[in-house]
Structure 1
Amino acid sequence: MPGRIRREDVAAVRERARIEEIVGEHVTLRPAGVGSMKGLCPFHDERTPSFHVRPQVGLWHCFGCGEGGDVISFLQKIDGLGFTEAVEHLAGRVGVQLRYEEGGAPRPGEEPGRRQRLLEAHRAAATYYAEQLITPDAAPARGFLAERGFDREAAEHFGVGFAPRGWDHLLRHLRGRGFTEGELTASGLMSQGNRGPYDRFRGRLVWPIRDVTGDTVGFGARKIFDDDQGPKYLNSPETPLYRKTQVLYGIDLAKREIAKAKQVVVVEGYTDVMAAHLSGVRTAVATCGTAFGSDHARIVRRLLGDTSAGAGVQLSSGLSLGGEVIFTFDGDEAGQKAALRAFGEDQRFYAQTFVAISPGGMDPCELRQSRGPDAVVALVSGRQPLFEFVVRSTLSRHDLDTAEGRVAALRAAAPVVAGIRDTALRPEYSRLLAGWLGMEGSAVERAVAAAGRQGGRRDDDRVPGPEPRAESGRPAGPDRRDPVATLERQVLEAVLQYPSAPGAAAFDQLEADAFTVPALRAVHEAIRAAGGVAAASDPVAWLDAVREEAASTVAPLVAELAVTPLPEDRADAIGGYVGGVVRRLVELGLTRRIADARGRLQRMAPDDEGYAEAFARLIALEGLRRALRSEE
């Protein structure tokens, strides 16, 4: 097996892999000052963005949960990869040929990254299935698509393919391309029988399921032959690549439009996604054989970005919320139950959430077939708020023409309103509920308040934000209320981000004890060990060197300081800001040394040995401070 990847190759990967592009495939990033971008953290739930990226230094940091690092560590964490696998994945994307210690390059046919091999197997399988769709045996599959209004161009756009009938067509195809039996079994493309592996998908129409980066991680397959005894839909099993609760079909095609339009339309099936996109609703996605859950919600929220102020959806109350999440369901009873289940997930969104149900009970695919693309657009445009749908559905189960029925309806609907996470919406829906019931508003408000109390203190009533974390082994951070600690932190932020700025060179004049906060002193020591700012001819490589010199407990703080937005956000004033904070810290150090020198002098008699030398040192230090102040 090959050894470690050479250090210089890892550095080349870091340099070529643009962190804003890699992160941007998972998080909607927006400008946040000079050289900084921000978005919602993909690693914890949050309402406002605290996740920052600085492309010029190749680092990211979340000020909410404390996670941070470079482009490699981001890929490790977001995709659950090991260091080597993450480097290999990025190297393949940016065209870096990796070399390995202890034996050089890997032997022919032996790939070091298991995840990369599984992705390559899926890529080869997707190509194979797509090619099979035009064969004579795939006529029923093409007929299925044609009956639903999908031509060859549509099939190619979505990568739809055909799995031939038979037990080992794909198996033989992939074996011929060098994939091992173990790899094919681990990929989920094969099932294991008494006689060995065999094709999981046989005689079926196949859709590739891709992650947000566009990599195929699994497949969904529909039976098209009457003698197929299997389920109507069969998906890939859980594998290292495919977790059905963490993927959304169509997300690779929809992600940019989602970020642009601030809208996500959640439909129920693969053909519904196709119909919606072809009708102009290019924000449509679907779950893959499972209900919409919390992991799906996190994916959607990251793509929507900061929804505390964005698209500006206007509510009847006058409130303005950013972004839309629209669930489409069949109009039958099962579809309505699915909509009610979605209510629980709505609490995970800060976007305004809607339901779109076709009066005729048709899904988007059927709607496009029978009434054309405009009907699909109209379905989405005619959505209604999810909260309103849930409350009205609850009321519909009661006879509102009787006093008993209205009271029963109030008792059933009050907990729904009390459970709305957004406290600003609860009074609005209390008023709406009073109107729908024809009851006094005060009576409804009391019922909602009582329902809230009966439910106990809700976790959602807390101020949004991560739980406090104990970071064992990490040096204590500075007290933000201490002006000296604040200045020390600002200096490190400035020189780590702009080591070549005018005035930054004075940083190297600082004494070893210039920083009083232990954590910041440790960062200063790492900078000195990396050669100081004078060694920062290549800022990115220099910053990597600083992080390597830092102790493992300090390295995350280096990344945090290198990503923190600076108080100055004007490009033409950055140099003055950096020089200014460095001068202030140098002056603070001189003041401290002057105080020490003056105290020493006061303890000496004029005829003591060394008095003249101490006096001269005091005069020299005061001269340096005057000269420094004159530069301002």
Structure 2
Amino acid sequence: MAGLIHPEDLETVRERSRIEDVVGASVQLRPAGGGALVGLCPFHDEKTPSFRVTPSKGFYYCFGCGEGGDVISFVQKINNMGFTEAVEYLADRVGLQLRYTEGDGAPRHEPGLRMRVLEANQLAAEFFARQLSSPDAVEGRVFLDQRGFTREHAEHFGIGFAPRGGRELLNYLLEKKFTKDDLVKAGLVREAGWDFFQGRLVWPIRDAGRSTLGFGARRIFDDDRMPAKYLNTPETLVYKKSHVLYGLDLARQPIGKKNQAVVVEGYTDVMACHIAGVDTAVASCGTAFGSDHSRMIARLMTSDALAGEVVFTFDGDAAGQAAALKVFSSDATFSAQTYVAIEPGGMDPCELRMSGGDAAVRELVARRIPLYRYVMKNTLERFDLDRADGRLAAVRAAAPLVASVRDVALVSGYIRELAGLVGMNPDEVRGEVQRANRRKTAPDARPSGPPTPTEQHAPGQHAPDQPAMVPLPDPGDRRLATERGVLKVVLQQPGLFPPDWGGIEADDFFHPAYRLVFETLAATPRGEAGFAQRVVSALADPVAAQLAVALSVEPLLAEPNATYAREYAARLRLARVLREIGDLKSRLQRTNPIEEQAAYNRMFAQLLELETRRRTLQAMAVGEPA
């Protein structure tokens, strides 16, 4: 089995894959001065270019949605690939044979195979689409018509028909100079030489860059030898069911623009939603919606991912309730807020559109409720709220749900809501929620030992069991302007600072993302060449890595020199001292100088010391001698 990609080959791939060429294949770029290029962001819908590529640093960054990284991360995001897949894709592109460490040294697949698989899939999609007009496909056309889908709808979603003969696609692609081995590896043909899909309606499954990764096929003939209603492409080099979402190619820009994703269960449900105007709908393909899917959606949302919404549609029956509970159990993997949209009659979006029209589908999503509230209601129904012990047991069961709410500003309101539902004092409920919160964050509640990596991750990419991402700071927040400014100078001109970074410490940074970037860069070997790149590569948190990319390309306020760097460092340290002085004065005001004389005197002495430091740093910040 092959190991990790050799580090030297990673650097060679980055050097040979010019970022302006790779990005330019997807984005129309134009010069913007200073050697930079700008264009419309491919990750969100915009009219004014805010997407910037800096070839000299090897980075791209969008000042509109916050997406950023190097050439490898761009390929990952635009094609929805993993890190290793993106490197192999670029290696194929530049003709580099990769070496692998900690293994037998053999490549994971032969060079160029990925490109051949994607090309074969695209030709297969076009072949299937043409077959939908054939006489043999009349059953498929009837199926679509009965569900309210027109020929134009079929063309828009690329729906096709796999012929019943069993070898038509094989023969067609052999004529296009593909080998049978290529087609087997693409999941289009079986080892015995038969087409993988036969006599079925076929939906192409594409990534965010509109490359066809695989297919989903529905049974329409009673004599179909395959009993499964739906059949998906087997796992291939490019198709991995836990990493694909049907409809993502169409929903990519609407998800970024609206900061919302609607998760449905089937291909026809996605179609119904999009036709009805819910153009953020996607569906998992042959597997449950999982953490990998949630990370795919999070990458498409705006920089304020915590304000985003992931809306799940479930039936109102017992199966729907069970599905909601399963989603809630993994809710911590979602960076956005989670909601459910319940159709009491048990209809899915496709059936709802057939019975109530487009407006009924839009109304279903508009009636969404927070997932935690739906789960809480089902939790409380298990207890006898007419008894005191039943009410207490219900609160203890529901408290972890309230404690799991990410927006802390909402927690107080939810505590009062829970207290009203069970008929208890809000203070008693708050105490149970606080205890649940402590249990959630207790050290013994966390997994012990370091995670074991199972694959190579991109710089800044999370492994599934890593901590939640830090919040992204607002670049326009004037209170944090000094923190941002200092990091920009450090990343872009590290040589201007002395070995101790001018006395800067991690605790000088108030915002956790800025603090994490500094902690990482302080542990990164110093050096002008490629310093920012090494910092980004060392950051395990994707938000922090994205932030470091932005800071490394944002323009500085003035031409930097050693004096500029020294004064900026003093301003940052001064801000921390001012915060400490404010905190100490607040404690002094709450302390009785007579009854707590020792504590009061100790704090007063600390205040005098801080005031001395403040004057020193204030002088340094304006260039005066200390």
TM range (shorter): 0.5 to 0.7
Segment drifting more, 12-21 vs 269-278:
12-21
2:352 maps to which of 367, 374, 380: 367
Alignment match, 2:217: 221
Q: Does 1:85 align with 2:89?
A: yes
Give, in angstroms, the shift of residue 520 of structure 1. Answer: 9.8
Residues in 2 aligned to 1:146 and 1:353: alpha-carbon distance in whole angstroms: 34
Q: Partner of 2:193: helix, strand, or coil?
A: strand
Give, in angstroms, the shift of residue 407 of structure 1. Answer: 3.7
Give, in angstroms, the shift of residue 397 of structure 1. Answer: 2.9
After TM superposition, the structure 1 = structure 2 runs for residues 495-574 of structure 1, keeping only pairs within 5 Å, are 523-524=527-528, 563=549, 565=551, 569=555
Alignment match, 1:338: 323
Q: Deviations for 1:170-195, whole angstroms, at most 9, x for unmatched residues?
A: 11111121111211111111222xxx
Segment drifting more, 399-408 vs 273-282:
399-408
Residues in 1 aligned to 2:486 and 2:415: alpha-carbon distance in whole angstroms: 51
CA 1:176–1:116 in 2, change beyond 3 Å: closer, same or farther? Answer: same
Residues in 2 aligned to 1:418 and 1:561: alpha-carbon distance in whole angstroms: 29
CA 1:169–1:56 in 2, change beyond 3 Å: closer, same or farther? Answer: same
Residues in 2 aligned to 1:131 and 1:37: alpha-carbon distance in whole angstroms: 35
Alignment match, 2:186: 187
Alignment match, 1:393: 378
Q: Contact conserved, 1:331 with 1:357, CA < 8 A, in 2?
A: yes
- Segments of 5+ residues of structure 1 without an aligned counterpart are 25-33, 42-51, 92-97, 101-110, 309-320, 467-479, 495-516, 527-546, 587-628
Alignment match, 1:165: 164
Q: Deviations for 1:68-104, whole angstroms, at most 9, x for unmatched residues?
A: 9742564377453365631555x8xxxxxx899xxxx
Q: Does 1:294 align with 2:295?
A: no
CA 1:74–1:450 in 2, change beyond 3 Å: closer, same or farther? Answer: same
Q: Does 1:260 align with 2:245?
A: no
Q: Contact conserved, 1:491 with 1:582, CA < 8 A, in 2?
A: no
Segment drifting more, 443-452 vs 77-86:
77-86
The amino acid across from 2:281 in the alignment is A
The amino acid across from 2:224 in the alignment is D
Q: Partner of 2:278: helix, strand, or coil?
A: coil
Residues in 1 aligned to 2:335 and 2:399: alpha-carbon distance in whole angstroms: 21
Alignment match, 1:279: 276
CA 1:126–1:345 in 2, change beyond 3 Å: closer, same or farther? Answer: same
The amino acid across from 1:337 in the alignment is A
Alignment match, 2:571: none
Q: Contact conserved, 2:268 with 2:350, CA < 8 A, in 1?
A: yes
Q: Partner of 1:400: helix, strand, or coil?
A: coil
Give, in angstroms, the shift of residue 412 of structure 1. Answer: 2.6
Residues in 1 aligned to 2:272 and 2:526: alpha-carbon distance in whole angstroms: 58
Residues in 2 aligned to 1:231 and 1:484: alpha-carbon distance in whole angstroms: 59
Residues in 2 aligned to 1:181 and 1:271: alpha-carbon distance in whole angstroms: 32
Q: Partner of 2:424: helix, strand, or coil?
A: coil
TM-score normalised by length of structure 2? 0.63
The amino acid across from 1:263 in the alignment is Q
Q: Partner of 2:149: helix, strand, or coil?
A: coil
Alignment match, 1:18: 23
After TM superposition, the structure 1 = structure 2 runs for residues 123-162 of structure 1, keeping only pairs within 5 Å, are 123-162=122-161
CA 1:344–1:22 in 2, change beyond 3 Å: closer, same or farther? Answer: farther
Q: Deviations for 1:368-411, whole angstroms, at most 9, x for unmatched residues?
A: 10010001011111111111111011122334344454344333
CA 1:405–1:582 in 2, change beyond 3 Å: closer, same or farther? Answer: closer
1:347 maps to which of 332, 340, 343: 332
Alignment match, 1:491: 493
Q: Partner of 1:190: helix, strand, or coil?
A: coil
Give, in angstroms, the shift of residue 224 of structure 1. Answer: 0.6
2:367 maps to which of 369, 377, 382: 382
Give, in angstroms, the shift of residue 205 of structure 1. Answer: 0.8
Q: Deviations for 1:137-160, whole angstroms, at most 9, x for unmatched residues?
A: 101111110000001100010011
Does 1 or 2 have the higher relative contact order (CA < 8 Å, sep 6+)?
A: 1
Alignment match, 1:581: 561
CA 1:84–1:363 in 2, change beyond 3 Å: closer, same or farther? Answer: closer
After TM superposition, the structure 1 = structure 2 runs for residues 608-623 of structure 1, keeping only pairs within 5 Å, are none
Alignment match, 1:312: none
Q: Does 1:231 align with 2:236?
A: no
Q: Contact conserved, 1:54 with 1:563, CA < 8 A, in 2?
A: no
Residues in 2 aligned to 1:560 and 1:338: alpha-carbon distance in whole angstroms: 33
Q: Contact conserved, 1:210 with 1:217, CA < 8 A, in 2?
A: yes
Residues in 2 aligned to 1:392 and 1:162: alpha-carbon distance in whole angstroms: 44
Q: Contact conserved, 1:20 with 1:53, CA < 8 A, in 2?
A: no
Alignment match, 2:606: none
Q: Deviations for 1:418-469, whole angstroms, at most 9, x for unmatched residues?
A: 3445544443322211111112212222333344445562669x99557xxx
Give, in angstroms, the shift of residue 566 of structure 1. Answer: 6.5
Give, in angstroms, the shift of residue 263 of structure 1. Answer: 1.0
Q: Deviations for 1:334-367, whole angstroms, at most 9, x for unmatched residues?
A: 1121112111333223422211011221111011
Q: Does 1:246 align with 2:243?
A: yes
Alignment match, 1:324: 309
Residues in 2 aligned to 1:292 and 1:237: alpha-carbon distance in whole angstroms: 18
After TM superposition, the structure 1 = structure 2 runs for residues 295-314 of structure 1, keeping only pairs within 5 Å, are 295-307=292-304
Q: Deviations for 1:477-509, whole angstroms, at most 9, x for unmatched residues?
A: xxx99x999977653699xxxxxxxxxxxxxxx
Q: Partner of 1:397: helix, strand, or coil?
A: coil
Residues in 2 aligned to 1:296 and 1:251: alpha-carbon distance in whole angstroms: 11
Q: Contact conserved, 2:265 with 2:284, CA < 8 A, in 1?
A: yes
Residues in 2 aligned to 1:120 and 1:552: alpha-carbon distance in whole angstroms: 33
CA 1:159–1:427 in 2, change beyond 3 Å: closer, same or farther? Answer: same
The amino acid across from 1:216 in the alignment is T
The amino acid across from 1:86 in the alignment is L
Residues in 1 aligned to 2:23 and 2:174: alpha-carbon distance in whole angstroms: 35
Alignment match, 2:199: 203
The amino acid across from 2:380 in the alignment is L
CA 1:581–1:281 in 2, change beyond 3 Å: closer, same or farther? Answer: same
The amino acid across from 2:215 in the alignment is F
- Segments of 5+ residues of structure 2 without an aligned counterpart are 1-8, 30-35, 44-50, 62-66, 98-109, 448-465, 471-481, 497-520, 539-544, 567-622
2:420 maps to which of 408, 430, 435: 435
Q: Contact conserved, 1:23 with 1:74, CA < 8 A, in 2?
A: no
The amino acid across from 1:293 in the alignment is G
CA 1:441–1:368 in 2, change beyond 3 Å: closer, same or farther? Answer: same
Residues in 1 aligned to 2:419 and 2:162: alpha-carbon distance in whole angstroms: 56
Q: Partner of 1:305: helix, strand, or coil?
A: coil
Say which one has the larger Rg: 1
TM-score normalised by length of structure 1? 0.63
Q: Contact conserved, 2:68 with 2:550, CA < 8 A, in 1?
A: no
Q: Contact conserved, 1:20 with 1:55, CA < 8 A, in 2?
A: no
Alignment match, 1:625: none
Residues in 2 aligned to 1:351 and 1:518: alpha-carbon distance in whole angstroms: 31
Q: Contact conserved, 2:72 with 2:86, CA < 8 A, in 1?
A: no
Residues in 1 aligned to 2:160 and 2:364: alpha-carbon distance in whole angstroms: 29
Segment drifting more, 79-88 vs 222-231:
79-88
Q: Contact conserved, 1:130 with 1:159, CA < 8 A, in 2?
A: yes
Give, in angstroms, the shift of residue 59 of structure 1. Answer: 2.5
Give, in angstroms, the shift of residue 554 of structure 1. Answer: 9.6
Q: Partner of 1:170: helix, strand, or coil?
A: helix
Q: Deviations for 1:50-79, whole angstroms, at most 9, x for unmatched residues?
A: xx96445462389xxxx9974256437745
Residues in 2 aligned to 1:459 and 1:127: alpha-carbon distance in whole angstroms: 50
